[in-house]
Each structure stands twice: as C-alpha cells, then as structure tokens.
C-alpha cells in the first residue's frame, strides 16, 4: 500500500464533514433551521451510511489504481525481457 493512502482517506473524511457543516449552515441561512435531535448533534444514520459507502468506494478505487500500476509495471518488464531475449538470440546467430 502506498504511504498516501491514509492521508487520502483522512482528507476524504474532512471533506465529507465539511460538506455536512455547509449543508447545515445553508439550512440555517434559509430560516428552516436544523431539527434538534433528542440525541444531540449526532449525524443521522443515512449520513453515516453514506460516508461509509463513500469511504469504501474510495478504498476500492485506490486499490484498483494500485493494481493497474502494478499490472503496467509487470507488462513493461515482460516487454523489456522479451526484447532482451530477442537481442541475445540475435547475437548468438
């Protein structure tokens, strides 16, 4: 895993929380106000599930990108070895 993985996911959390705060501010600005919950200022279950889904998607996308990079490296190495073997074969004849 690349060292930026944790930082990217941490940044994603910060962005999602910032978006929630802005949405609440917009509601307050329109005079609708947010409904106060008896549980306090906890995010709704839908938002929690949405955030978890986005995190899982981000992790899957990151893994996919890492796999593509590894695949490209392997393909490049295979091509390089084939060229090297062809040049060795040409030298021997």
Q: What is the pLDDT of residues 12-31, one digit of tens each?
A: 566 666 666 777 777 776 65
pLDDT of residue 87: 93
How far apart are alpha carbons 51 and 20 in whole angstroms? 10
Calpha distance 44→22 (Å, rounded): 15
Give φ, ψ of 40 to 5 degrees: 105, -145
Higher pLDDT, 43 or 78: 78
pLDDT value at residue 61 = 95
Helix (H, G, I), strand (E, B) or coil at 93: coil
Residue 1 has pLDDT above 50, yes or no: no
Instruction: Give CA angle at 49 (7, 1), nearest 5°.
Output: 30
Considering the entire predicted model, what is its pTM?
Answer: 0.47
Q: Which domain holds residue 66?
A: 4-34+41-92
Domains contained in the chain, number = 1
| 28-43 confidence digits (pLDDT tens) | 766 555 556 555 666 6
């Amino acid at each position: 895993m690349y060292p930026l993985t944790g930082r990217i996911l941490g940044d994603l959390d910060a962005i999602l929380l910032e978006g929630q705060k802005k949405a609440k501010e917009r509601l307050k600005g329109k005079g609708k106000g947010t409904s106060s919950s008896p549980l306090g200022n906890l995010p709704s279950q839908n938002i929690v599930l949405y955030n978890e889904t986005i995190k899982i998607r981000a992790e899957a996308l990151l893994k996919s990108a890492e796999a593509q990079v590894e695949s490209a490296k392997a393909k490049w190495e295979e091509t390089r070895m084939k060229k090297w073997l062809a040049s060795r074969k040409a030298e021997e004849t």
